[in-house]
Structure 1
Amino acid sequence: MNMKKKSWVTLPLIALLSMSTLLAACGNNSNSASPTTDGNTASTTTGKKLHIVTSFYPMQEFTSKVAGDLADVQVLVPAGTEPHDWEPTAQDIAKMTDADMLVYNGGGVESWIDQVKDTLGDSGPKLVEASQGIQMMESTEEEHEGEEAGHAEEADHATEEGHDHGSLDPHVWLSPLQAQTEVRNIETALTTLDPDHTADYKKNADAYIAELQKLDAEYKASLSKVKRKDFITQHAAFAYLAHDYGLTQVPIAGLSPEQEPSAEAMAKIVDFAKQNDVKTIFFETLVSSNVAKTIADEIGAKTDVLNPLEGLTSAETSAGENYVSVMRTNLAALEKALNE
């Protein structure tokens, strides 16, 4: 992902500020609860459904599972859209302004979040950073440049405090173990916002975490028995998964799925693959598979999909796929490749 700070080319900040002032004066949508906010702490008083906006697919899935039928949950990044370089439009800012809660992953996925915070101000929705409290892995310089194979999962852990988001790997949702923390953080935020339904949110969160615990157990059982422990993937999204299940991610490029690896990086990956008799090169949905296919052709290997769950395609949505089902498909692909 492009971890650098961006300027908003879609809408000048001064226009966003004017819009937020106007929207605040008009009041919230009548279909949403009306929270009172004090330092990002709020409570609902109307008894109506909460209106929650989430940044991209995993945040929508986790929030919907916890909120159940007590909230209308929307997602900002559309299906089939790669979220790393997505930026909000005026209409998206309006959605956020009108919401009771905004749930985002953090760690740098949402490069626009700091400007949104400034725009929305204290009277905006309750902001929930789902990855709060998770020890974020620092990406190495090699990951950024795509110049070193085999060391992504060995990056030192570091708490988010005191580090620039540009050096962090935000892909915590790709570990079923870490995803449980994100779900609990969302539960905590919902109970703070709507304490009258604390028991409901806990029941929903407990049920979904039971699913994630089962998924975690499946990953541990299956990946503990594989013949090899390293896998080559197009973009460095799977460091948390690799770390938590005893694997080694070998990324072709860095944190950005659209990053083009250098010729030196490509050569190192090809050498690694030949020396270790790698038979599968993983690519992912939503971005081009050309780099993975080039390496696979060079070494006589095949390609397969390892889905980073940054957004579902329209086909996946139509087929009823969700976080758990896609993660099971990922597990099957990993198990197959690591037993070749």
Structure 2
Amino acid sequence: MRDTILLSLALSALPALAMAEVPKVVTDMPVVQSLTAQVMGDLGTPVVLLEQGANPHSYQMKPSQARALQEAGLLFWVGPEMTPWLSRAIDAAGGKVPQIALLHSDGTHLQSYVDDDDDDHDHDDDHDHDHGHDDHADADGHSHEGLDPHAWLDPHNAGNWVSVIAAALAKADPENAATYEANAKAAQERIDTLDKDLRAELTPVKDRPFVVYHAAYGYFAAHYGLQDEGSVAFGDATDPGAAHLSALRADLKAKGVVCAFPEASHDPRPMQRLIEGTEVRLGQPLDPEGTQITPGPDLYDTLMRTIGGNLSGCLGQ
């Protein structure tokens, strides 16, 4: 209810432009830019702040990007749990940037990070919808508990965000509301097709355990019923301690892990060392945030299909 009220207030704060004018739209990450670009279509191209290959959890904006943020007519971002640097920039701008934190929009399915040391990973259970943020990081800044912000990896959330984006754009630019609505419907149909394709591809490997570099795949694994058994790095991609790696290595055999997947924007050597001397196969790198994919409306579809293809390619051997 609280998030519904906050979103309603945010939408009501968006100015309905007196004359037909497409707002200058800024986004935080390539994934959000992709979804927004699909809704905007030919009406405009949203700016993305995060540069290709950069870590979304710890990024330093350039002065030109800070100016773009201050001049934005509308900002779409995941939320402070994903990009804390942007939260600070919004505060520095005096809170004057009209913005929608998609993670907290009504209809978004939320879940907590899965504890890598928990042996009972039942992905078919109801997920934790706790919206609290205080436990997101421990004393060392490691985000391995609390709210998981990688919610776009559940395609139902992506479809919901498309609706939220369209509603906000229609409020800011009512003369083009019908276009935003039509584009959103087309984007949702594309996401539905993607979801069906991925489910068909991944169902045969649902019982094949795997580990990943970075704790980002909880939504994807839960949605498709996959056996994600842990990660080398924590949710914000910070380096783990020796005890965590030792426990994870023990899990490789205990849980029958089949594949280990490095990440596109990170050094693969920690994953290679983890599985050295075992029968675990090294899969193709995953890119959950799309930082290695060319930005644009096709990025979300490409990101999801690549993750699905890389998982099934290794697990299905």
TM bracket, shorter-chain basis: 0.7 to 0.9
Quote how far apart the aligned CAs of 1:129 are.
Answer: 1.4
Question: Compared with structure 1, are the counterparts of its residues 323 and 238 closer, same or farther at alpha carbon in structure 2 (3 Å cutoff)?
Answer: same
1:158-197 alignment, distance < 5 Å: 158-160=129-131, 162-164=132-134, 166=136, 167-197=146-176
Q: CA RMSD in A?
A: 2.8
Given that 1:222 and 1:335 are in contact with CA atoms closer than 8 Å, whether structure 2 keeps it comes out as yes
1:154-204 deviation line (CA, Å, top 9, x unaligned): 7951242x4437221100111222211111111111111111111100111
Letter in 1 for 2:85: W
Quote how far apart the aligned CAs of 1:152 are.
Answer: 9.2
Q: Which residue does the alignment assign to 1:333?
A: 310
SS of aligned partner of 2:84: coil
Quote how far apart the aligned CAs of 1:292 are.
Answer: 1.0
SS of aligned partner of 2:92: helix
Question: Compared with structure 1, are the counterparts of its residues 136 and 308 closer, same or farther at alpha carbon in structure 2 (3 Å cutoff)?
Answer: farther
Say which of 226, 237, 240 aligns to 2:216.
237
Q: Which residue does the alignment assign to 1:198?
A: 177
The gaps in structure 1 that reach 5 residues or longer are 1-36
1:126-157 deviation line (CA, Å, top 9, x unaligned): 201122232321225x45xxx55774957951
Q: Which residue does the alignment assign to 1:125?
A: 97
Question: Compared with structure 1, are the counterparts of its residues 70 and 228 closer, same or farther at alpha carbon in structure 2 (3 Å cutoff)?
Answer: same
Q: Which residue does the alignment assign to 1:255?
A: 235
Question: Compared with structure 1, are the counterparts of its residues 183 and 95 closer, same or farther at alpha carbon in structure 2 (3 Å cutoff)?
Answer: same
1:38-57 alignment, distance < 5 Å: 40-57=13-30
Is 1:305 the counterpart of 2:284 in the alignment?
yes
Given that 1:229 and 1:246 are in contact with CA atoms closer than 8 Å, whether structure 2 keeps it comes out as no
2:63, 2:90 → 1: CA distance? Answer: 15
Q: Which residue does the alignment assign to 2:79?
A: 106
Between 61-70 and 244-253, report the one with greater CA deviation.
Answer: 244-253
Quote how far apart the aligned CAs of 1:320 are.
Answer: 10
1:98, 1:293 → 2: CA distance? Answer: 45
Is 1:92 the counterpart of 2:65 in the alignment?
yes
2:278, 2:251 → 1: CA distance? Answer: 10
Question: Compared with structure 1, are the counterparts of its residues 149 and 79 closer, same or farther at alpha carbon in structure 2 (3 Å cutoff)?
Answer: farther
TM-score by length of 2: 0.83
2:206, 2:31 → 1: CA distance? Answer: 30
SS of aligned partner of 1:50: coil
Q: Which residue does the alignment assign to 1:5?
A: none
Question: Compared with structure 1, are the counterparts of its residues 150 and 77 closer, same or farther at alpha carbon in structure 2 (3 Å cutoff)?
Answer: farther
Q: Which residue does the alignment assign to 1:12?
A: none
Given that 1:237 and 1:308 are in contact with CA atoms closer than 8 Å, whether structure 2 keeps it comes out as no
Quote how far apart the aligned CAs of 1:64 are.
Answer: 0.6
Letter in 1 for 2:100: V
Which is higher, the Rg of structure 1 or of structure 2? 1
Q: Which residue does the alignment assign to 1:135?
A: 109
Question: Compared with structure 1, are the counterparts of its residues 38 and 107 closer, same or farther at alpha carbon in structure 2 (3 Å cutoff)?
Answer: closer
Quote how far apart the aligned CAs of 1:280 are.
Answer: 1.9
Say which of 18, 23, 34 aligns to 1:61.
34
1:286-340 deviation line (CA, Å, top 9, x unaligned): 1111211112223143322352332432xx4299972212311211222233333
1:7-60 deviation line (CA, Å, top 9, x unaligned): xxxxxxxxxxxxxxxxxxxxxxxxxxxxxx996321223323321111011011
Q: Which residue does the alignment assign to 1:157?
A: 128
1:130, 1:325 → 2: CA distance? Answer: 21
2:67, 2:206 → 1: CA distance? Answer: 51
The gaps in structure 2 that reach 5 residues or longer are 1-9, 137-145
Is 1:223 the counterpart of 2:202 in the alignment?
yes
TM-score by length of 1: 0.78
Letter in 2 for 1:291: P
Say which of 263, 275, 294 aligns to 1:317.
294
Quote how far apart the aligned CAs of 1:241 are.
Answer: 0.7
Quote how far apart the aligned CAs of 1:72 are.
Answer: 3.1
Is 1:289 the counterpart of 2:268 in the alignment?
yes
1:322, 1:242 → 2: CA distance? Answer: 20
Percent pairwise identity: 25
Q: Which residue does the alignment assign to 1:28?
A: none
Given that 2:22 and 2:173 are in contact with CA atoms closer than 8 Å, whether structure 1 keeps it comes out as no
1:329, 1:58 → 2: CA distance? Answer: 14
1:65-76 alignment, distance < 5 Å: 65-76=38-49
SS of aligned partner of 1:244: helix
